[in-house]
Amino acid sequence: MTGSSRSSDGLDPRRRRLLFRSWHRGTREADLIMGRFADAHVEGFSDAELDQYEHLLDAIETDLLAWVTGVVEVPAEHDTAMFRRVCDFHFQTGR
């Protein structure tokens, strides 16, 4: 997969921006982690979930990869339900 499998058509501007940011993290690995998750979930997020996801996207991609892979402990600020959803999405579904 080389990019988003979902169109941003029909999404409000905030969701479009988050979808774009998810696929343009800076490293391909981070793009795939965040982009695939966003493709599957961004449309259904509540406002509170959008806030949490946006906060997670503000993390440096190398830190994010270290947290997801368990190389580094996740700081409390980012150890949220949204972070766990991202991890569960990839590790439980095999994506």
- What is the per-residue pLDDT for 36? 92
* Closest alpha carbon to 38 in 91, 92, 89, 93: 89
**Number of domain units in the chain:** 1
Q: Exposure of 85 by Cβ count < 10 A (0-12 exposed, 13-18 middle, 19+ buried)? A: middle
* Closest alpha carbon to 3 in 31, 29, 25, 27: 31
Domain boundaries, position 71: 13-93
Residue 18 DSSP SS3: helix
Q: What is the CATH number of the domain that holds 36?
A: 1.10.150.250
Tell me the per-residue pLDDT of 76-92, one tens digit each, with 9 for 90 and over.
Answer: 999 999 999 999 998 88
Tell me the per-residue pLDDT of 31-82, one tens digit each, with 9 for 90 and over.
Answer: 999 999 999 999 999 999 999 999 999 999 999 999 999 999 999 999 999 9
- What is the per-residue pLDDT for 1? 45
Residue 3 lies in a domain: no
